[in-house]
Amino acid sequence: FRALRLLAKIRGLRKLIESVIKSASSLWAVVCVVMICWLMFALAAVHVFKGTLHSCTDGSTFVYGVDTCVGSFLHSDGSVAGRTWHTPPVHYDNVPSAMYSLFETAISQEWIEHANVVMDSTAVGIQPMRDASSHWGLFFAFFVIVNRVFLLNLCTACVYTKYFELKQQGLERLTSHQKEWLTIMQSLPMVSP
């Protein structure tokens, strides 16, 4: 209830919350644009990276592909484990997993790790090698730039325009002399005596 009391006391914050609520319909349109943009990136990622991020549980250089990922290997702690061909947590084998991976990339600071996984991809059924496809790092850099600069500013612009409309709501009934008086009063604190 402290937040509600704070909201009741601070008039500007009340207008901000009101503008967020009133801009929900335009924010819904922005969310649809963001999802379409993410869908385009996800389709491109599935087309390029489907099946190329799989690797063997043994990270040694002796394993070349899925056909050599057999037998067992020795862990660093001395235990013996069987080799299996597995999918990494971040993969682009289908559109829902690609959308989830792009969502993780968009909201986290670990987008560089996601880009490193993709930059190590080689081909389907082949063990990833360090920086084998380093040019795909630009794909993630472009996604982060588009997502954080353009799409996030689009959401901010929707809320700001509604806030500006609410702020200007009472001013259209003023006469030109009243508006002039308001601008003089607002600029007075900046003028030196």
Q: What percent of the chain has pLDDT over 90?
A: 4
For the segment 92-112, the average pLDDT, to the nearest whole number, is: 84
pLDDT at residue 68 in the model = 73
Q: What digits encode the pLDDT tens for the residues 1-10?
A: 677 677 677 7
What DSSP assignment string belongs to 86-154? Answer: E--SS--SSHHHHHHHHHHHHHSSTHHHHHHHHHT--STTB---TTTTGGGHHHHHHHHHIIIIIIHHH
Instruction: Report pLDDT for 58.
Output: 74
Question: Hey, is 60 helix, strand or coil?
Answer: coil
pLDDT over 90 at 40, yes or no: yes
- Can you give the pTM of this predicted structure? 0.69
pLDDT at 172 over 70: no
- pLDDT number for residue 182: 82
Region 97-117: what's the mean pLDDT? 82
